[in-house]
Amino acid sequence: MPDSPAPTRVLVLNSGSSSLKYQLLDMRDHRRLAQGLVERIGERTSTLSHTSLVGTEPAKREREGRIADHEEALNAVSEELSADGLGTDSPELAAVGHRVVHGGKLFSRPTLVDDAVEREIERLIPVAPLHNPANLTGIRTARSLRPDLPQVAVFDTAFHTTMPESASRYAMDIATADEHRIRRYGAHGTSHAYVSREAAKLLGRAEEDVNVIVLHLGNGASAAAVRGGRCVDTSMGLTPLEGLVMGTRSGDIDPAVVFHLVRNAGMSPEDVDVLLNKKSGLLGLCGDNDMREIIRRTGEGDESARLAFEIYIHRLKKYIGAYTAVLGRVDAVVFTAGVGENAAPVREAAIAGLEEMGLALDGDLNAVRADRARLISPEYARVAVAVVPTDEELEIATQTYALVSGVDDTSSATRADN
């Protein structure tokens, strides 16, 4: 009997605090076979939106109804995939790749999940309280659905393990920091790695030769300074709370604010944690965490939305300036993720006034809406400004497949056109 061909499909799970994004890819040509999103997990009405891409036309299905937790969400996704003949029981499935936000200092590479790896991800929950629990449920559910299948964890923190001590250490008592493993780990690393590599391709230069500042602006947001393909600084720290203003997170804040609220405002440490992680950022400033709403309200003359926008931009400019100084020479500033890819007013405001730093925008190019990597700076500008759509799922699939098949084509992870 002839040997059956080696499986080439990878299912990628990107679990957020209340959402689950997934894609099924065929790694022979990086083609997407299915993709989808479960939103508002744990709330009264959850939604599952699933698109099958195996037919001549994409076929989209939506369902509504309560999905209590990530385990239920993954079971529902598994049913949708099965309905298209793409179920997790398929012999063509080579592995499941999981986004895991926090890998601490231990995991600098994609890692096959076993019980010990699972325990380590669990141990790191206190430093990624919004993310690691969901990532772990995804892993456990997928392992129980297909115990025979390799499960690979791809860590957000991995790309940042190259940061020098000068950037990764806090200036605090060194023995206490070491005892409690307090340092700056960063996050969104899979996105920063993919986007900085794609930016080099867009510039037509080798990754080793370019210095870029990547601005990943989604619900969570972070900046990274990348020199020759290696991260030298990033804005998230011990947890994904430090740095830029985010949808619901404060970003940088004087740590004494915490003591002040605990000592003088009658709040517990848990209250402050919830305040800074879930009720701050854009939401805390103006009641909306969605940049689309903030731009719309600002256009209508809403003062609190305008202030939220200005604080968001002010922080972004500070990081562009800081990372220009860290890198010495910058070849490109690159915008990515939901806000960075779609919000032209954010890009315009962030770059405005930075001409002395060699930065400028072409208004027409900035206004173009397109789902591809593109330059938005004028030709004369010393530093390029670009929009590069991120693709964490493709990057996770590529790293996962490289690990299980032994074929490393990470540098060619660009999406097939579908």
Ligand X SMILES: Nc1ncnc2c1ncn2[C@@H]1O[C@H](COP(=O)(O)OP(=O)(O)O)[C@@H](O)[C@H]1O
Ligand Y SMILES: CC(=O)OP(=O)(O)O
406 is in an annotated binding site: no
Cβ-based neighbour number of residue 177 at 10 Å? 15
- Nearest residue to 251 (alpha-carbon basis) of 318, 203, 201, 206: 318
Asked if 129 interacts with ligand Y (CB under 6 A), we say no
- Nearest residue to 272 (alpha-carbon basis) of 290, 257, 252: 257
- Residues 326-345 within binding reach of Mg ion (CB under 5 A): none
Alpha helices in 279-417 (DSSP H): 281-286, 291-299, 303-327, 337-342, 344-351, 363-367, 392-405
21 is in an annotated binding site: yes
- Whole-angstrom distance, CA of residue 313 vs CA of residue 172: 29
- 9 contacts which partner out of Mg ion, ligand Y, ligand X, none, CB within 5 to 8 A by kind? none
338 is in an annotated binding site: yes
Count of residues engaged in binding ligand Y, rule: CB under 6 A: 10
Cβ-based neighbour number of residue 162 at 10 Å? 16
- Beta-bridge partners for 216: 222, 336
- Whole-angstrom distance, CA of residue 53 vs CA of residue 86: 11
Which of 69, 114, 148, 156 is the catalytic position?
A: 156
- Whole-angstrom distance, CA of residue 320 vs CA of residue 326: 10
- 101 contacts which partner out of ligand X, ligand Y, Mg ion, none, CB within 5 to 8 A by kind? ligand Y
How, if at all, do strands 332-336 and 230-234 pair?
A: unpaired
341 is in an annotated binding site: yes
Which CB, 168 or 289, lies closer to ligand X? Answer: 289
Look up 156 and say whether it is catalytic.
yes
Which CB, 244 or 384, lies closer to ligand Y? Answer: 244
- Nearest residue to 38 (alpha-carbon basis) of 10, 70, 12, 11: 70
96 is in an annotated binding site: no
Site string for Mg ion, 189-228 (x = CB under 5 A): -----------------------------x----------
Count of residues engaged in binding ligand X, rule: CB under 6 A: 14
- Nearest residue to 193 (alpha-carbon basis) of 227, 229, 232: 229
End-to-end CA distance of the chain: 35
392 is in an annotated binding site: yes
The binder of ligand X chosen from 149, 337, 349, 403 (CB under 6 A): 337
Token output for 386: 């670009």
- Whole-angstrom distance, CA of residue 118 vs CA of residue 114: 6
- Residues 74-113 within binding reach of ligand Y (CB under 6 A): 101
Token output for 336: 């990515």
- Taking CB atoms, the residue at the shortest distance from ligand X is 338
The binder of ligand X chosen from 343, 351, 361, 383 (CB under 6 A): 343
Asked if 225 interacts with ligand Y (CB under 6 A), we say no
Site string for ligand X, 212-231 (x = CB under 6 A): ------xxx-----------
Which CB, 110 or 218, lies closer to Mg ion? Answer: 218
Residues that bind ligand Y (CB under 6 A): 16, 101, 131, 156, 187-188, 218-220, 240
Where in the sequence numbering do the catalytic residues fall? 156
Residues that bind ligand X (CB under 6 A): 16, 218-220, 247, 290-292, 295, 337-339, 342-343
Annotated binding site for Mg(2+), which residues?
A: 14, 392
Annotated binding site for ATP, which residues?
A: 21, 216-220, 290-292, 338-342
